[in-house]
């Protein structure tokens, strides 16, 4: 009996460890995925006779990945430390470090808010919805909540029942985590919520079929309102336009098409039939269908958005317009990326590691071959405009600026009028890869008080430190300013020209000349763009 028991235990342990080894071997590896993505991209580049751009140097990579992951340029210390590191895997390790930083959370809260609550970007009266929504997003990003869970918890978020008027679901400026601002910002209208949900999570512009069948996609008017019917129980009422809580009639699963006598039932966009649950919101049924691994849009749209965030454009472009007349440029690559995302259990950081490890992400933005002008080939990095948050936070890092009278101790510049001004004036308009600088924006940078003050010894810790160390030579001072602002050392020609300018001013004008150099660097396109 003892021998048989020992054999049984031994076989059980062998089976367990074999299964564990198989599971570990099957776990998706972001870096092997990165290699496969590059192979597909480079095969198509070669087929089109296009030579891809060379890889960017370390300083350029650090600046790019810092802007993309934490929403600001690296500090001088971070830049010098990275440049001094000789480890072959330092690019992967710095990505891991940035993913663990508070800046990653803050930046991605900004990105998700801009996507889910664009109303707060264009309508100041809607900004009272931000505190609770930002707090909810912060929890999700900080915990690296799987993408499918984030989508589910937003679409299926509990809403106060309409027959309980004493239960307030959402209060203005309430800082407690709450996703219901998504519904309130859409005025509680089923058609608005359906259109936004489909764009963000499915990449489908069904709102084009709101009044008539879609002009070139397959969507019909009935399909649009069938999608909107999942949100038909939501109500938001108020007197004279005043804000009131969102409420819901949970057993409503149909919706009347405006200006017609037709009533449509809630229906999915594919051929599946909804499986309703007793006394459960139709939104729960929709959310469960939406995040299914075999949903034809959800994972592919998420993968496409991730590529567009880092590479400047998606395989399907625009990213929210999946339709038969807008085919993907690399369909096999998109499918492989989506399948890997599902296999990784919708781990967002898995996608980040994979995409930032590709040669496509690490290529120079400089045009070195005529064929690189076709952005669909991803043969060079696209030049991207900065958001207001990225530009302001990068100015703060570069100059060491501290806003006077700031009340938020966790952010030296939180709530400052300078920051508010930048968020208003430097909101991205149009495509990120086609940045346009308005006259007002240019004047704010060249003549605005914030940049002018930030480039003075009185308000810039960076400039004060560079000018205040007597042992530094003009060349060393110039280098310090370049690393602080552009995250790189100056070229020999830049060093010669700038140091000559500083030296010709004499001892009495040293500080002013250094201030001039910093002002020029802050106003350069190299500083203002993510390239």
Three-class SS state of 264: strand
What is the C-alpha to C-alpha distance for residues 158 and 233, in angstroms, rounded to an integer? 12
Question: Given a cut of 50, is residue 16 above it in pLDDT?
Answer: no
Q: What is the tens place of the pLDDT at every residue in 106-128?
A: 999 999 999 999 988 777 777 88
Q: Average pLDDT for residues 504-518, to the nearest whole number?
A: 84
* Sequence-distant (≥ 6) Cβ neighbours of residue 407 within 8 angstroms: 414, 415
Q: What is the CA radius of gyration of the chain?
A: 27
- HSE of 315, CA atoms in CB hemisphere, 13 A: 23
Query: What is the longest distance spanned by two Cα atoms in the chain?
Result: 96
Name the more confident of 127 and 204: 204
Task: Categorize the per-residue pLDDT at 435 as very low, low, confident or very high, splitting at 50, 70 and 90.
Answer: low
Q: What is the tens place of the pLDDT at every residue in 139-193?
A: 999 999 999 999 999 999 998 766 554 444 556 677 888 899 999 899 889 999 9
Q: What is the tens place of the pLDDT at every residue in 473-504?
A: 999 999 999 999 999 999 999 999 999 999 88
Q: Helices 282-290 and 147-155: crossing angle, nearest 10°? A: 160
What is the C-alpha to C-alpha distance for residues 342 and 292, in angstroms, rounded to an integer? 9
State residue 440's pLDDT score.
60
Residue 315 to residues 30, 216, 269, 377, Cα–Cα distance (Å): 19, 20, 22, 9
pTM of the model as a whole? 0.89
Task: Categorize the per-residue pLDDT at 247 as very low, low, confident or very high, splitting at 50, 70 and 90.
Answer: confident
Q: How many CB atoms lie within 10 A of CB 312?
A: 23
For the chain, what are the domain ranges?
104-290, 298-377, 384-530
Q: What is the tens place of the pLDDT at every residue in 17-56?
A: 444 444 444 678 999 999 999 999 999 999 999 999 999 9
| Residue 493: both structure tokens together | 């020609």
State residue 457's pLDDT score.
83
């Amino acid at each position: 009996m003892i021998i048989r028991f020992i054999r049984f235990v031994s076989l059980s342990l062998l089976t367990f460890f074999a299964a564990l080894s198989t599971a570990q071997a099957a776990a998706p590896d972001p870096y092997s995925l990165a290699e496969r993505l590059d192979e597909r991209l480079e095969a198509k580049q070669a087929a089109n006779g296009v030579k891809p751009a060379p890889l960017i140097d370390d300083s350029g990579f650090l600046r790019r990945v810092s802007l993309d992951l934490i929403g600001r340029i690296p500090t001088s210390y971070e830049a010098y430390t990275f440049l001094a590191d000789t480890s072959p895997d330092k690019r992967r390790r710095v990505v891991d470090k940035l993913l663990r930083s508070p800046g990653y959370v803050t930046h991605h809260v900004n990105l998700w808010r801009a996507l889910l609550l664009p109303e707060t970007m264009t309508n100041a009266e809607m900004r009272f919805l931000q505190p609770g929504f930002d707090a909810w997003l912060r929890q999700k990003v900080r915990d690296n909540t799987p993408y499918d869970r984030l989508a589910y918890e937003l679409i299926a978020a509990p809403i106060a029942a309409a027959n309980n008027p004493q239960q307030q679901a959402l209060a203005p400026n309430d800082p407690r985590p709450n996703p219901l601002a998504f519904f309130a910002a859409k005025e509680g209208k089923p058609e608005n919520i359906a259109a936004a949900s489909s764009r963000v999570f499915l990449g489908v512009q069904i709102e084009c079929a709101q009044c008539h069948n879609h002009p070139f996609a397959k969507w019909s008017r009935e399909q649009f309102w069938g999608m909107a019917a999942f949100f038909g129980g939501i109500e938001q009422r108020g007197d004279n336009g005043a804000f009131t809580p969102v409420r819901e009639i949970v057993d409503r699963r149909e919706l009347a098409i405006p200006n017609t006598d037709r009533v449509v039932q809630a229906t999915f966009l594919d051929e599946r039939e909804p499986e309703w649950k007793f006394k459960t919101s139709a939104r729960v049924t929709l959310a469960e269908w939406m995040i299914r691994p075999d949903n034809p849009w959800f994972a592919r749209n998420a993968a496409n958005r991730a590529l567009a965030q880092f590479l400047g454009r998606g395989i399907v472009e625009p990213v929210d317009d999946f339709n038969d007349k807008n085919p993907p440029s690399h369909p096999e690559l998109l499918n492989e990326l989506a399948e890997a995302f599902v296999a990784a259990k919708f781990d967002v950081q898995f996608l980040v590691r994979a995409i930032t490890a590709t040669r496509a992400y690490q290529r120079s933005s400089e045009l070195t071959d005529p064929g690189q002008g076709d952005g669909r080939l991803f043969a060079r990095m696209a030049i991207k405009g900065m958001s207001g948050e990225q530009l302001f936070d990068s100015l703060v890092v570069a100059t060491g600026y501290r806003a006077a009278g700031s009340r938020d101790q966790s952010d030296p510049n939180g709530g400052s009028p300078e920051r508010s001004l930048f968020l208003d004036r430097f909101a991205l308009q149009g495509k990120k890869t086609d940045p346009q600088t308005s006259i007002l924006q240019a004047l704010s940078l060249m003549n605005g008080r914030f940049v002018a003050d930030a480039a003075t010894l009185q308000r810039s810790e960076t400039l004060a430190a560079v000018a205040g160390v007597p042992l530094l030579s003009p060349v060393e001072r110039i280098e310090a300013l370049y690393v602080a602002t552009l995250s790189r050392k100056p070229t020999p020609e830049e060093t010669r020209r700038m140091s000559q300018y500083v030296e010709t001013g004499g001892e009495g004008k040293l500080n002013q000349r250094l201030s001039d150099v910093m002002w020029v660097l802050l106003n350069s396109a190299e500083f203002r763009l993510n390239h």
